[in-house]
């Protein structure tokens, strides 16, 4: 893997909570944080963060700007990658929120909307507010120091399935992927920049990689 002290690129595709994420990264001591739409900058970075709020279709801009291929190359050369919210969903094959929009396909499966009814009870959507992380994977680098039951902040209507690379789940209308991690590719469905102590721990772990 590449070094821990190099540039950290935060991708701007007009769908991310950039200000809060960058503020949190700077607070945690990240060096050389650059907000960018440039594939060249992404390829030069040692770490890449893809924030995201809103509609999955917004990720189409990543392809139009050449950032999808830049992220693929970045991951292949060993840079650390973290997707947040829609950024995590983009790591999968796609989402029923925008059937025609392809995800990166790093993980198998598609994101789906929460069911309207679960266990015979109406389920409110979007899933907004604090909920707990369960089944935190032992040895996870992203979730180091995070215990089962730690609360984080969510706001989303679509969710990623639980897969082999899932590092923690959250239960709401069934279990879904709250965090995913395989080698240098990571993602969280929750917003760590809004998740108080646990969120800062997660972002801090990423910064320290």
Catalytically active residues are: 85, 191, 193
CA dist 202 to 56, 105, 143, 208, Å? 24, 23, 6, 10
CA 164 to chain centre: 16
Query: How many CB atoms within 10 Å of residue 168?
Result: 28
Q: In the beta sheet, which residues pair with residue 102?
A: 94
3-state helix/strand/coil string of 155-172: EECEECCCCCCEEEEEEC
Nearest alpha carbon to residue 8 among 80, 101, 78, 70: 80
CA-CA-CA-CA torsion for 136, 139, 141, 142, nearest 10 degrees? 0
């Amino acid at each position: 893997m590449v070094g821990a002290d190099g540039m950290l690129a935060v991708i701007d595709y007009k769908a991310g909570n950039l200000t809060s994420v960058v503020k949190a990264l700077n607070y945690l001591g990240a060096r050389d944080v650059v907000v960018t739409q440039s594939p060249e900058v992404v390829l030069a970075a040692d770490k890449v963060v893809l924030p995201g709020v809103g509609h999955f279709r917004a990720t189409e801009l990543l392809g139009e700007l050449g950032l999808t291929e830049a992220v693929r190359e970045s991951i292949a050369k060993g840079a650390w990658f973290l997707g947040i919210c829609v950024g995590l969903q983009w790591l999968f094959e796609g989402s029923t929120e925008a059937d025609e929009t392809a995800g990166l396909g790093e993980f198998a499966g598609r994101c789906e909307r929460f069911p309207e009814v679960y266990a015979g009870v109406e389920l409110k959507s979007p899933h907004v507010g604090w909920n707990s992380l369960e089944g935190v994977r032992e040895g996870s680098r992203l979730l180091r120091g995070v215990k089962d039951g730690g609360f984080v902040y969510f706001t989303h209507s679509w969710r990623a399935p639980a897969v082999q690379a899932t590092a923690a789940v959250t239960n709401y209308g069934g279990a879904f992927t709250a965090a995913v991690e395989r080698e240098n590719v990571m993602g969280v469905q929750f917003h760590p920049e809004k998740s108080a102590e646990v969120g800062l721990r997660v972002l801090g772990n990423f910064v320290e990689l």
